[in-house]
Amino acid sequence: MISLPSKDFLETPIEEFVISSEKVAHVQIGNSAEHALLVLTKTGYSAIPVLDAKYRFHGLINAQRITDAILGMDHIEYEKLGDIRVEEIMQTDLPLIHLNDRFQRALDLVIDQNFLCVVDDDGMFMGILTRRIVLKQLKKQLYQFKR
Ligand code: AMP
């Protein structure tokens, strides 16, 4: 039997579900697009955060943005990869989530985002919350009274 998630569950702070920052692959402001492409390819992740030396969050970088930046008129200009900085091409217009935000907000946001970047009040990067984790938690709630 499926049960509807309780209001209490939807109001759980997301903190306990977050993958903490030290476990998250990232690149730093000042790194080249070439370095970012290496990290993305080696890890197999679709996108990774761009942080500064103090671990403040600045944006996200993905392979599509990198390829787009080196697309010439009739060929891909690979030689440019080393000259492009990640901050020139990263995505910055994305919703962020705070450690004390509720599960309900995460659920709303992961409809359009594969994962969410989690920050504290000072913009420090705390980790990520993936759609996979949100769905797993929701599934646990839905089936908890299954007989
Ligand atoms: P998953 O739900 O594990 O497939 O992760 C979805 C996306 O979240 C990945 O493609 C990455 O963009 C990002 N992601 C998940 N785990 C990590 C991690 N440890 N480091 C960096 N990015 C991650």
Q: For 6-46, what is each residue's pLDDT tens digit?
A: 778 899 999 999 999 999 999 999 999 999 999 999 999 99
Among candidate residues 106, 103, 131, 127, the one with its CA nearest the CA of residue 117? 127
**All domains of the chain, ordered by start, with CATH?**
8-146 (3.10.580.10)
Q: For 38-56, what is each residue's pLDDT tens digit?
A: 999 999 999 999 999 999 9
Instruction: Compute the distance between CA of residue 49 and CA of residue 58 in angstroms, rounded to an integer.
Output: 8
Q: Which ligand 1 atom is nearest residue 26's CA?
A: 21
- Which protein residues are within 6 Å of ligand 1, measured from CB? 19, 23-25, 45-48, 114-115, 128, 130, 132
Instruction: Compute the distance between CA of residue 70 and CA of residue 65 in angstroms, rounded to an integer.
Output: 9
